[in-house]
């Protein structure tokens, strides 16, 4: 008889940045149940974390401009871009939550701590593939997110540097994405991609999640699900050509900046046309996803029948995603509120199609 010895699973590595006089000892005791914790002061946050970090927990006085500034400067480093971050709020009234979201919080927890609740948040915010409860669906989800992320890197980092995006690059990702949402759920997809700190990536990954879930909810055949996945992934490809200062501006855009931003459908269209391998329908989505049925959209002021079905669908998931995403200058809308706002947009959107989207929009949270 052979005896298999199960290797002990790798534990999470958590960095706790605390400016508290008690070094957040109560929190450390809880965190130790799910990972190895290193406690440091905010001034000691390294420029680059040594080894793979599962996440960083920040326990500071969010009302202190000095502490907030110090953490902002530290976490701005490239090495922390993809590291999930959990912020501790002083109390359940969410004092300081605006600062936390502005600092790129993945999630927040509040004092007084309820150990079980904190552990749940940690497991969700910092998933550990070595956990025993990390199931096949978790693996499918991770693979799907990674595949989608790879397309984002090609769009936002390689394309502006002159490396063309090919239709094949996009197609390579679609199976993993479809499988991820089919095996886990839209909700889990959104929770995972919501941890991404680059909001352009996050937005495109949200739109992709909603588009795939909508396609699956509609019972579309596989090939149509793929068409929607591709279109969603690249819909904002033109943003790769918008200056980062505008794209990542932590506040509302000025009129001039808005004019510049509104060039992204055209820029994206031109880039994909130049590439040559993209089907006409993807070009249509890229160029027209900001058109409205009443003619008030851009860039071409198309109306009614001039706007194709796939574009109508993409416009709905695009707006819904934008509303429920967190932005540095405002809290995310709830899914219900976002849906209500879209109903109030009346003739701009295909309201019939919007109603079909309702269970996807509201069932996801
Ligand atoms: Fe867009
Ligand atoms: Fe978009």
> 88-115: per-residue pLDDT in tens?
988 766 667 778 877 888 777 888 888 8
Distance of CA 206 from the midpoint of ligand 2 (Å) = 9
Nearest C-alpha neighbor of 193 from the set 351, 326, 11: 326
Whether residue 43 is predicted with pLDDT greater than 80 in this model: the reply is yes
Say which ligand is closest to the CA of 321: 2
Q: What are phi and psi of 222, to 5 degrees?
A: -50, -45
Helix pair angle (280-288, 309-324), 10° resolution: 50
Domains in the chain: boundaries: 12-125, 136-363
Whether residue 264 is predicted with pLDDT greater than 60 in this model: the reply is yes
Q: What are phi and psi of 9, to 5 degrees?
A: -65, 145
CATH homologous superfamily of 136-363: Hypothetical protein af1432 (1.10.3210.10)
Strands of 55-59's sheet in order across? 35-40, 12-18, 55-59, 85-89, 107-110
Query: pLDDT band at residue 364, thresholds of 50, 70 and 90?
Result: low
Whether residue 286 is predicted with pLDDT greater than 70 in this model: the reply is yes
Say which ligand is closest to the CA of 240: 1
Q: How far apart are CA 364 and CA 195, in angstroms?
A: 17
Cis geometry, peptide bond prior to residue 360 (ω within 30 degrees of 0): no
> 225-261: per-residue pLDDT in tens?
999 999 999 999 999 999 988 988 888 899 999 999 9
Report CA Rg, the chain.
Answer: 21
Burial category of 50 from C-beta neighbours within 10 Å (exposed 0-12, middle 13-18, buried 19 and up): exposed
Per-residue confidence (pLDDT) for residue 92, from 0 to 100: 63
CATH class (in words) of the domain with range 12-125: alpha beta
Quick check: 62 and 101 in contact, CB under 8 A?
no
Q: How far apart are CA 70 and CA 284, in angstroms?
A: 45
Q: Which helix (H) or strand (E) holds 15?
A: strand 12-18
Residue recorded with tokens 């749940």: 120
Whether residue 5 is predicted with pLDDT greater than 50 in this model: the reply is no
Say which ligand is closest to the CA of 203: 2
Distance of CA 72 from the midpoint of ligand 1 (Å) = 28
How far is residue 253 from each of residues 174, 216, 258, measured CA to CA in Å?
33, 35, 6
Distance of CA 235 from the midpoint of ligand 1 (Å) = 6
Whether residue 146 is predicted with pLDDT greater than 60 in this model: the reply is yes
Per-residue confidence (pLDDT) for residue 235, from 0 to 100: 97
Q: How far apart are CA 92 and CA 109, in angstroms?
A: 8
Query: pLDDT band at residue 2, thresholds of 50, 70 and 90?
Result: very low
Q: What is the mean pLDDT of residues 41-60?
A: 90
């Amino acid at each position: 008889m052979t005896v298999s010895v199960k290797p002990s699973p790798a534990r999470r590595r958590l960095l706790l940045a605390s400016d508290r006089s008690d070094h957040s000892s109560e929190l450390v005791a809880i965190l130790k149940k799910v990972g190895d914790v290193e406690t440091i002061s905010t001034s000691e946050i390294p420029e680059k974390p040594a080894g793979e970090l599962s996440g960083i927990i920040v326990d500071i006085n969010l009302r202190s401009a000095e502490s907030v500034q110090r953490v902002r400067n530290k976490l701005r480093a490239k090495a922390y871009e993809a590291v999930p971050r959990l912020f501790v709020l002083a109390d359940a009234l969410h004092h300081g939550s605006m600062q936390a979201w502005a600092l790129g919080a993945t999630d927040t927890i509040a004092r007084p701590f309820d150990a079980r609740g904190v552990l749940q948040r940690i497991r969700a915010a910092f998933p550990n593939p070595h956990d025993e409860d990390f199931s096949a669906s978790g693996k499918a989800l991770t693979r799907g997110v990674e595949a989608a992320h790879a397309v984002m890197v090609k769009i936002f980092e390689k394309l502006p540097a002159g490396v063309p995006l090919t239709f094949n690059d996009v197609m390579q990702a679609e199976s993993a994405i479809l499988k991820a949402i089919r095996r886990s759920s839209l909700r889990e997809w959104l929770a995972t991609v919501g941890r991404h700190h680059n909001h352009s990536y996050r937005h495109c990954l949200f739109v992709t999640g909603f588009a795939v879930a909508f396609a699956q909810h509609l019972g579309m055949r596989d090939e149509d699900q793929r068409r929607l996945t591709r279109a969603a992934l690249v819909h904002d490809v033109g943003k790769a050509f918008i200056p980062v200062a505008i794209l990542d501006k932590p506040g509302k855009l000025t009129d001039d900046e808005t004019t510049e931003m509104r060039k992204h459908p055209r820029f994206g269209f031109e880039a994909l046309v130049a590439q040559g391998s993209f089907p006409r329908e993807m070009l249509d989505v890229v160029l027209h996803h900001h058109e409205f049925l009443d003619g008030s959209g851009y860039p071409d002021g198309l109306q009614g029948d001039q706007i194709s079905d796939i574009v109508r669908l993409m416009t709905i998931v695009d707006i819904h995603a934008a509303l429920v995403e967190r932005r540095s200058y405002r809290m995310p809308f709830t899914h219900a509120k976002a849906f209500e706002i879209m109903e109030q947009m009346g003739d701009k959107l295909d309201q019939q199609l919007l109603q079909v989207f309702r269970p996807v929009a509201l069932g996801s949270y």
